[in-house]
Structure 1
């Protein structure tokens, strides 16, 4: 499929029936996430509400992209964004007894709790209480105006309370650095390497990096363009119609708490080992760059041992072919583990990630706080992703790459950021050798890190087509 052009008539029909935030992130600064369980004796009322909500409030991809265009041309902010997701249990609660045959993805059908051993997640008694319940649906609201979103949420919760149990309400807030790039609580630019579906985004990538994707120019190292089948599948509950295509996407939600203080203390400790001499303090941030794979401003550590490369927060035209030893970007670095950039197989495993930070910090990241000024808990990332298969994309990346101490080579160690060890795993999985001299993996400085990120709960969902939601009976 060609890059998505919202102005094309054939594409227009698809976008009208596709929920927003899929092929392009909604772009709002604040979010609300409401997890609900339908009351069994109120299903007719639930269906009536779903139909009404889909008709009056759901944001289609078409509307989202129109608002995006208005913002680019007129600096006009978009309105309240909303989306609705159903779990396999949610479909069953609504009376769809054939979920097991209609859907093909075994992870979605089983649900996150039943699949937690696939990804080495904590036992459910260690999850936050609200996530221990069975979630039937999640509602996502997003806005640049938190007051407007808050007022809408208050009214919505009153309505939902009439026919459902409200288990969890989460709030996300974007954090930006001085260059206005989105960052996460460890302080690093986030969301840089995303699959690109839109024609104008692909053209911007080519212009920014001075490359062409088709035909590929000699200086092209990484092609981020993607077919929509990477994240979209035909809605299994809508009869195929050539004039009104209806697509949906599997959706993963995970609340990931970050121990920022532990990360910063580890970064400082290893930084001192790498650069013990006075006057070299500014070089010590290389330690964190080795763990993440990028410096805080987004500069890939593969490119240089210092940050501030040109277009650092957007630079993405690189692969690891010139660093087979891992002396520039260690094999265990988060971005190298989660996206090896080797071939078409690796590209087929990527997802459209749509995460946003949660929690409050007392000291702004822009002030470059010392470890003792950073939080140990209560902050993190609301991880979200869209994919055509949870099992072969999200779970594969988490299980076969991030959690595998032997990927891509023996003795690599698990991903120091999102890696999760299985019960009884040896501590050597979290022992790493960081290059003492940039570009040379041996001799290395050895360091063992505790887990910096803890999964606190979540669920697997499906983002149905708007056609399905409007016609729910």
Structure 2
């Protein structure tokens, strides 16, 4: 792997023209996502605004990493982050009639609504209203200061209204546990096991895990490093220029609503079935860990049957080679399904995930609310990912791993968290949880319903800044 070193001049040329949030998440606590449809009669005004936005507001990967360095050294926040994405229909609306020839990814060119036979998503008629219509672009804003972002958004919406229709506006807000790790509404640490592109991140991984990626030994169980080509491709609308390389990335957005109350009640039922005796209540957290593949604090269940491992959310040097039966981490567990960790092929399917929770909770997750205090809807995850191919990465994982009842083995069952059954067969959601940790049998059989519902989304491309600034 060739780590990205921001201090290298060759890399610097790439980062200047690359949108931020790609090789490293922007890290802001709050986000605004504005989805728009360009007015066919006002395309000249739309192009002019895009050029101005790219010049004055857009955050490059270079700027983002400079802000990151300043925060690490001086604890000075980076301010507001901004990015812009286009759909295939968006390119066409802006006058690009050759989208089909320029882009290689059929998923991007077709759009999410046409891929239901692959994703098993609900029919778009069941999506939230704002996502049902044709979407041309998405503007992403991120900030640690909610009011500042809100004031900017208000002004931006007025500007956008002059040449486009606002489809919908979504808001994300980070949730953190007592250790400062980001979690989702079910209460589990989210965003673990990301591909690492930056030189300093890879060096930190080696130091924290006592391994050397360039000279692997038996101590190295998992290599998280990745080449930038895992998520970046040359911008198809910018001529090749070795002095000023222009890269972009395919981008997936999905609004995933979570029924937290039903999930927690199901966890309780399975936990009691596994550990029915008085005095075993604390062990019942293992039920959820079996389903997710990690305990709530991030501890990998394949490593131990208890949580609270120091730096558990950051521990990533493990695989499933010593657990072929699934007695420690069941084959259907979410993190095992979506990241099998078995070789180069699996590594090539990874994405740079940039999700953030949405929705309000009345009781803080740190207070460990009982099921009746948790929401049944209106909360969830704004799933986002960057990849070099939507077909070969996001869609492959969703179709052939998460949605497959026979991956990684026959009758494994679909992913209990994000899996969507093609047939709706209840048998797809019946799971066998090890009754004794480390032994796949005997097992407790559990019927785990679908508690995550896709409410809308789209496939985008994050163009290079070179393209956006030069749009005519």
TM-score normalised by length of structure 1: 0.99
Shift of 1:427: 1.1
2:246 maps to 246
Shift of 1:217: 2.9
2:466 maps to 467
Equivalent-residue separation in structure 2 for 1:449 and 1:123 (angstroms): 22
Kindly provide the CA deviation profile for residues 169-209 of structure 1, in whole angstroms up to 9, marking residues without a partner as x: 00000000000000000000011110000000000001111
Kindly provide the CA deviation profile for residues 352-372 of structure 1, in whole angstroms up to 9, marking residues without a partner as x: 000000000001100111111
Shift of 1:310: 2.3
Shift of 1:144: 0.4
Kindly provide the CA deviation profile for residues 85-139 of structure 1, in whole angstroms up to 9, marking residues without a partner as x: 0000000000000000000000000000011221100001100000001000000
2:358 maps to 358
1:322 maps to 322
Shift of 1:2: 1.4
Equivalent-residue separation in structure 2 for 1:58 and 1:217 (angstroms): 43
Map 1:60-139 → 2, pairs under 5 A: 60-139=60-139
Equivalent-residue separation in structure 2 for 1:324 and 1:426 (angstroms): 27
1:18 maps to 18
- Root mean square deviation, CA, Å: 0.6
Kindly provide the CA deviation profile for residues 229-258 of structure 1, in whole angstroms up to 9, marking residues without a partner as x: 000000000000010000000000000000
Equivalent-residue separation in structure 1 for 2:413 and 2:466 (angstroms): 46
Kindly provide the CA deviation profile for residues 49-108 of structure 1, in whole angstroms up to 9, marking residues without a partner as x: 000000000000000000000000000000110000000000000000000000000000
1:384 maps to 384
Determine whether 1:452 maps to 2:451: yes
Q: Secondary structure at the match of 1:47?
A: helix
Q: Secondary structure at the match of 2:240?
A: coil
Equivalent-residue separation in structure 1 for 2:325 and 2:310 (angstroms): 25
Kindly provide the CA deviation profile for residues 266-319 of structure 1, in whole angstroms up to 9, marking residues without a partner as x: 100000000000010000010000000000000000000000112101000000
1:345 maps to 345
2:221 maps to 221
Shift of 1:216: 1.1
Equivalent-residue separation in structure 1 for 2:120 and 2:218 (angstroms): 41
- Aligned length, in residue pairs: 472
Equivalent-residue separation in structure 1 for 2:147 and 2:372 (angstroms): 33
Kindly provide the CA deviation profile for residues 341-385 of structure 1, in whole angstroms up to 9, marking residues without a partner as x: 000000000000000000000011001111111000000000000
Q: Secondary structure at the match of 2:217?
A: coil
Equivalent-residue separation in structure 2 for 1:259 and 1:206 (angstroms): 38
1:195 maps to 195
Equivalent-residue separation in structure 2 for 1:177 and 1:375 (angstroms): 18
Kindly provide the CA deviation profile for residues 146-168 of structure 1, in whole angstroms up to 9, marking residues without a partner as x: 11100100000000000000011
Equivalent-residue separation in structure 2 for 1:167 and 1:434 (angstroms): 43
1:440 maps to 439
Determine whether 1:421 maps to 2:428: no
Kindly report structure 1 stretches of 4+ aligned residues shifted beyond 4 Å. Answer: none
1:210 maps to 210
Equivalent-residue separation in structure 1 for 2:299 and 2:239 (angstroms): 47
Map 1:289-328 → 2, pairs under 5 A: 289-328=289-328
Equivalent-residue separation in structure 1 for 2:302 and 2:262 (angstroms): 25
User: Which runs of 5 or more residues in structure 1 are unaligned?
Assistant: none
Equivalent-residue separation in structure 2 for 1:189 and 1:220 (angstroms): 23
Equivalent-residue separation in structure 2 for 1:154 and 1:116 (angstroms): 34
Shift of 1:443: 1.1
Q: Secondary structure at the match of 1:76?
A: coil
1:40 maps to 40
Q: Secondary structure at the match of 1:313?
A: helix
2:396 maps to 396
Shift of 1:449: 1.0
Equivalent-residue separation in structure 2 for 1:67 and 1:432 (angstroms): 46
Shift of 1:218: 2.4
2:143 maps to 143
Q: Secondary structure at the match of 2:109?
A: helix
Equivalent-residue separation in structure 2 for 1:438 and 1:373 (angstroms): 30
